[in-house]
Each structure stands twice: as C-alpha cells, then as structure tokens.
C-alpha cells in the first residue's frame, strides 16, 4: 500500500506539472521571446528549488488542516487518485483547471466518505482565497504594466529595450516556476504526510513528479494560456507572470493552497484589459471559470464514491 500511495502521489504531481506548466511557460512562449524547449529547462530547475525550499507550509495544510483527523491510507489513495484523474482529463482537453481545488476537493470527499470531520472553517478560508486570487492578480498586473511601461519608455535604444524585456520575461517565468514548486508540490504530496515520510523527501518526490509532467505533457495547456485568452506582448508577459508569482509565493508562505492557473489567468486578463475589453476572449474565460467551479465539486464527489468502492477491497499487505 505504501508503494502504491507513492506511485499515486507521483501521478498527481505529474498531472500538476502537465497542467500548470502553462503558468510558467505560456506567457513568455506566447510573447515569442523564448523557445518552448529553453523555457522547459528553466522551469524544471526552479520548480525543484521551490519544492525543496518552501513547499512545507502548504503540505501541512493539505495533510492536516482540511480534515480534523488524519485520513487512513485508503482515503489518502482515494483523494489523490480522484484529483489526478480529474486533472488528467482537464489537461487532455487543454483546460487550465485548478489542481489545488482538485486535491482539496478530493481530501474533503474522502474525509466525508470515511466519516471524518471536515474543517469547514479552513476550507472556507481557502475558498475565499481562490475567489480573491484572480481578482488580485488582475489588479496587480494592470498596475505593474503601467509602472513598467512608464520606466521602459525612457529607454531610448530599441536594442537595449528588447534585451531588458527578454531578461525580464525569463526571470519572471522562473519566479512563477519557483512559486509553482512552493505551492503545488504541497498539493501533490500533502496527503502523504500521514505516512510519516520526511517532508524533505516528499518535497523532492513532488518536485521531480512536477518536473516530469512539465517535460512530457506540458505543451497542451500552454497553447491555451499563451494564445487562448488574449494576445501578449513582451511587457504584458512580464507584468502577468510577475504578478501571478508574487501572489502565489505569498500564499505559499502562509500555507494556503492556491491555484497558479487562477493567478496567471487573472493576471493575463488584467494586462489584456489595458488594450480594451474587446481584446479579451470572454468565451474562453467563461470556459475556464466553469472549470474552476466544477473542479472541487466534481473531485469531492468522485473521491466520496471511489472510497465507498475501495473500502470493500480486502486489506493490502
């Protein structure tokens, strides 16, 4: 059972990397300043750094804060498998769903199914942050774009302007990757804390799993983020990524599992609004928001029903 749980934890981490790669890669690749392959290498390095250095707070929230008593091993398996299946489907459909919502929904569903008491106060707090996050990053990216444009317009040399923006796009993408590792690794392996495995080893497992997801299957959702919402220029990419990274990093420090997908989509909308509402593809936004609303509910329901079936299986040795 322990080996099976580790495999499923790796699977969830792979899913997060595959779906959330777009949050690190979509804007710089969409802006045309860096190739997809080069950005992948940068993302892998900084995802691992974020996982090892700062994923522990979110890991603790997912493992201990959502339910009042630790999940048993079958409930852990159920919660993680439900989240993984749901995110796999979303990735195949190129929809940037919230993996944070999927794993929280999975934990809630498994906890209720085994008769555990859910800490609805903590869940409500997390839910409030989910609502605030895209609005916050939209406002931040709108403001940051204005500030950066004010200073960069004073750079007279076009070549120097392009070089500054190129470096800023790469740095902001790396920062998003670090924030992704800091927050979403806790989502992928947080339920495994009940097994008594050291947090550093779990962080390393989650970081490697996310990196594999980035490398093997990250291109699909990248297309949606880079071109599906609004056309991004280099300065827009910098403003969007930096705003999303700052927000996700802050919530990682205080142990709140947030969605990097929500953060980056909100930030892209913010810079898109500078050009006018008509430049933002509202149909695509509605599609993404529907996915956000459905994710925790569907994951919780799937987890609840799956546990009812798994508990009928004879004990594994």
Of 313 and 127, the structure prediction assigns the larger pLDDT to: 127
Of 209 and 229, the structure prediction assigns the larger pLDDT to: 209
Of 155 and 46, the structure prediction assigns the larger pLDDT to: 46
In a domain, 232, yes or no: yes
Confidence of residue 315 (pLDDT cuts 50, 70, 90): low
In a domain, 25, yes or no: yes
Contact 106, 84 (CB under 8 A): no
pLDDT at 53 over 50: yes
Length of the chain in terms of residues written: 317
What's the rounded Cα separation, in Å, for the pair 36 and 41? 9
Give pLDDT tens digits for 264-296. Answer: 888 888 887 876 655 555 665 666 667 667 788
In a domain, 76, yes or no: yes
In a domain, 315, yes or no: no
Contact 229, 269 (CB under 8 A): yes
Give pLDDT tens digits for 123-143. Answer: 888 888 888 888 899 999 999
**pTM, rounded to two decimals:** 0.80
In a domain, 91, yes or no: yes
What's the rounded Cα separation, in Å, for the pair 81 and 60? 19
What's the rounded Cα separation, in Å, for the pair 232 and 179? 21
- Write the DSSP symbol of residue 313: S
In a domain, 317, yes or no: no
Tally of domains in the chain: 1
Structural domain of 210: 2-310
Of 17 and 175, the structure prediction assigns the larger pLDDT to: 175
In a domain, 316, yes or no: no
Give the dihedral of Cα atoms 210, 132, 223, 234; nearest 10 deg. -100
In a domain, 177, yes or no: yes
What's the rounded Cα separation, in Å, for the pair 249 and 142? 19
Partners of residue 118 on adjacent β-strands:
67
Helix axes 2-30, 73-92, angle to 10 degrees: 30
């Amino acid at each position: 059972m322990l080996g099976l749980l580790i495999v499923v934890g790796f699977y969830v981490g792979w899913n997060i990397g595959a779906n959330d790669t777009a949050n690190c890669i979509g804007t710089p690749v969409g802006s045309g300043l860096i190739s997809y392959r080069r950005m992948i290498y940068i993302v892998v390095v900084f995802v691992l750094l974020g996982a090892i250095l700062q994923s522990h707070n979110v890991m603790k929230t997912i493992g201990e804060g959502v339910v009042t008593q630790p999940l048993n091993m079958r409930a852990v398996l159920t919660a993680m498998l439900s989240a993984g299946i749901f995110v796999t489907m979303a990735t195949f459909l190129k929809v940037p769903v919230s993996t944070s919502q999927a794993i929280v929904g999975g934990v809630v569903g498994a906890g209720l199914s085994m008769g555990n008491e859910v800490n609805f106060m903590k869940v409500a707090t997390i839910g409030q942050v989910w609502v605030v996050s895209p609005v916050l990053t939209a406002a931040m990216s709108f403001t940051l774009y204005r500030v950066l444009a004010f200073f960069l317009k004073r750079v007279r040399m076009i070549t120097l302007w392009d070089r500054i923006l190129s470096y800023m796009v790469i740095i902001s993408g790396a920062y998003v990757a670090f924030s992704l590792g800091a927050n979403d690794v806790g989502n992928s392996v947080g339920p495994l804390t009940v097994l008594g495995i050291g947090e550093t080893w779990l962080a390393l497992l989650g970081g490697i799993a996310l990196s594999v997801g980035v490398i093997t299957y990250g291109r699909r959702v990248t297309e949606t983020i880079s071109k599906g919402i609004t056309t991004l220029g280099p300065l827009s990419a910098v403003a969007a990524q930096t705003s999303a990274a700052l927000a996700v990093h802050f919530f990682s420090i205080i142990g709140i599992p947030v969605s990097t997908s929500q953060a980056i989509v909100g930030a892209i909308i913010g810079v898109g609004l500078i050009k006018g509402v008509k430049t933002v593809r509202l149909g695509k936004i509605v599609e993404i928001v529907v996915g956000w609303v459905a994710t925790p509910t569907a994951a919780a329901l799937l987890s609840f029903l799956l546990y009812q079936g798994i508990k009928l299986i004879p004990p594994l040795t």
